[in-house]
Structure 1
Amino acid sequence: MRGNELSLEQRGKIISLHQKGLGYIKIFQNSKFMVPATQRIIQKWISTGSVANKRRTGQIQSQHGVSISNQTVRNLIKEKGYKGAVARKKPFISKRNNLSGFISCKVGESLKPNCLRKTIKHGGGSIMVWGSMSTNGVGKLHFIDGIMNKDVYQSILQKNLLPSVRKLRIRGTVSFNRTTIPKVPPKPPRNEAWEYLDPDFTKKLVDSMPRRIQAVIEAMGGPTRY
């Protein structure tokens, strides 16, 4: 115990009074333990379930006769098959993703959820688009405003599906029933980058789809190397 630290018995008394429903002031009146110390003990008990201090390096050294340094810890971690690495950045998927920037993982585990740091592109926010591509290049690109529902999706298909099929020279019978022929709006500037995608690039993406789908299945919906 260091300095004027409260003993385990005193800390236990604080927790006992807290469990009886007493606030910090009432605990002080009953025990004379200062409010800041009482607050720290209760918060520690709530977060860890214990009021004991964490073991310090000096305690480990005195009990096991081993000098514990940062290098000793690193050597032991390496010996157990782990390596230090900055967590890979992958788009945010769930709360399972590790929030810290520096983690330890075994070789081959870099894409496991607890070895990742979640990221959100461009500082947050989102944008939803409908697009299509084939080995011949890209089809139409449609930016979606608001919430997607069946009516919005049907409207998108009416405006973009058949024109994309014709543009991509997709063979076979393709039909889509519609009651009205929508007017085609002028092409906005933000679509130009999409139009300039090289067919060789889209061919590689399309050809890789079986591997990508299999990777997602094996990862049970989690991050993949793609």
Structure 2
Amino acid sequence: MASDETEASYFQTTQEKYNQDCIIKRTKQGSGSIGLWCCMSYYGLVIHCIFDGRLNAIRYIDILNENLIPSMEKLRQSQQFIFQQDNAPCHRAKRVTEWFTDNRIECLKLPANSPDLNFIENLWSWLDRELAKVGPRSLEQLKEIVPAILERVPKKVIESLVDSMPRRINSCMSFF
């Protein structure tokens, strides 16, 4: 097997064609995905979890129990904590609404069909750009890389995203 890493070219002999040492396993784009839950505030990004498959109300409550309460304890400052999520069906489920009430957690109220103002969507865009630099080759590698990248999100990025909320809300309010 011969390879020139600087030009990213690859040459192999006929005998090497099926040699496992000469094969680089790759996952084509769109051949898998991960679910990602994350809690962040102006003070930082604390707990995140990766999950497989689709999210339903019961699974979402499990994620909240395991991650939101500890995140709130780590992020709670002297200011009131309002949890923001989008209008996904599992977020609006009666069980989930009752969970927030039972745990005395205030959620940002959003009208149906409202634009997605959640600043974390921009964090996902930042994460996508960082992932593109690394280029995970498999779903397993993606699951390893994402936490490492999230642990090094610059504080400046998080602060900028949170600071953008008044502008986002005001721009939507100008349409009404």
User: Shared topology, TM-score over 0.5?
Assistant: no
TM-score bucket (shorter structure):
0.3 to 0.5
Structure with more contact order per residue of length (Cα contacts < 8 Å, sep ≥ 6): 2
**TM-score (norm: length of structure 2):** 0.41
- The higher radius of gyration belongs to 1
